[in-house]
Amino acid sequence: MPALKRAERDFEHIDTNGDGRLSPAEWMRRGNFEDLDTDGDGFLSLQEMSFIYRPRGKPGQLASPILPSGTPEIDPSYATDRVSKSAVSNTTFCAIDREACGLGFASGTTAALSLGLIPTGLGPRFPAAATCLGIDDYYALDYSFKRKTQVFHGGLDIPAPWDTPVLAVAAGTVVGRFQGNDTQRGVEVILRHSPEDTGLPFWVYTQYAHLAALPPQGLGQRVRMGEVIGQTGNTGLDGSGGNKGNRRPAVHFVAWFSPERQFADTGSSIVPVQGQWMDPHTMYRGKPPFESSKVAALPDAEKWVDIPVMFGNGATSPPSTRLIWPYACRKRQ
């Protein structure tokens, strides 16, 4: 779908009162409202909003950090913690891998709702000194307006110029890498992060989809926070029509969490044992509650989440963080 056509369709959906402009409330904490509002009138016009949909060529000033190379380290627990699909409950399987759920997509959506795929109202707040890529499609966005069946968005979509490096948001282990020729996710990589990797009291899995190509990191390989694990692309079937190549370039960024370290590789996805959906913003909050229903009940003042970031020179804000945004940010002049 051409960028302008998509922008017009999404603008019409977001503009709930039909006044031809988007208020901060209608923007729903997608982030970067002030940066997009170039005329400073407190609203977004179609022209201002459509900036995030425009193909912007090469990454340019949003360059990736250059981390020193090292000898690849293999995580031995990758082999011992991988279990058969039968070790995962049918509810969990259907909730996480909705496309492959044997009971049908509608049942997968029902299971996903029961395991946390519900809107939380959280949004990103980036450091004042940073210019970062923000969100267009937010967590658990209801896609009924552009799908034939009810379905909810399982993560955050962050548009970026073609081939912009995608970064590991924390140290972790590559547990999934899929070509995804016949999936909506396309080329994807999935990392597993231990409590020691993130400082969170459970195992976290992060998924990066629509990549341009599979990265060199193999299954079981450890990666560092900020390591490049792919380049931005638009791979995957278009959910509204089943076509390829219609998406704008973006990363589809997903997070799940589980009290268990085991996971199943179904051949097309990774399903954590006792896995639950998590708004990725919840991960960055770094404190309870973590369940989506409880997060959604937080007071409005707690719905903005301060996002830790990495800059192009490898420095982070804050310096001691174990988590970063999946794209490098640029320091403001």
Give 122-173 pLDDT, tens digit per residue: 999 999 999 999 998 889 888 776 555 667 888 999 988 888 999 999 999 9
Name the pLDDT band for 63 (thresholds 50, 70, 90): very low
E strand intervals along the chain: 82-83, 123-125, 130-131, 156-159, 165-167, 172-178, 187-193, 203-211, 222-223, 228-231, 250-258, 263-265, 270-272, 276-278, 304-306, 309-310, 316-317, 330-331
pLDDT value of residue 44: 93
Give 28-53 pLDDT, tens digit per residue: 888 888 888 999 999 999 998 888 77
> With 70 as the cut, is the pLDDT of residue 70 above it?
no
Name the pLDDT band for 322 (thresholds 50, 70, 90): very high
Structural domains in the chain, CATH included, are 1-54 (1.10.238.10), 62-331 (2.70.70.10)
- This prediction has a pTM of 0.88
Residue 41: which H helix or E strand, with range? none
pLDDT, greater one: 75 or 59: 75
Give 205-241 pLDDT, tens digit per residue: 999 999 999 999 999 999 999 999 999 999 988 765 5
Give 2-15 pLDDT, tens digit per residue: 556 778 888 888 89
Name the pLDDT band for 61 (thresholds 50, 70, 90): very low
Indicate the SS3 state at residue 302: helix
Indicate the SS3 state at residue 332: coil
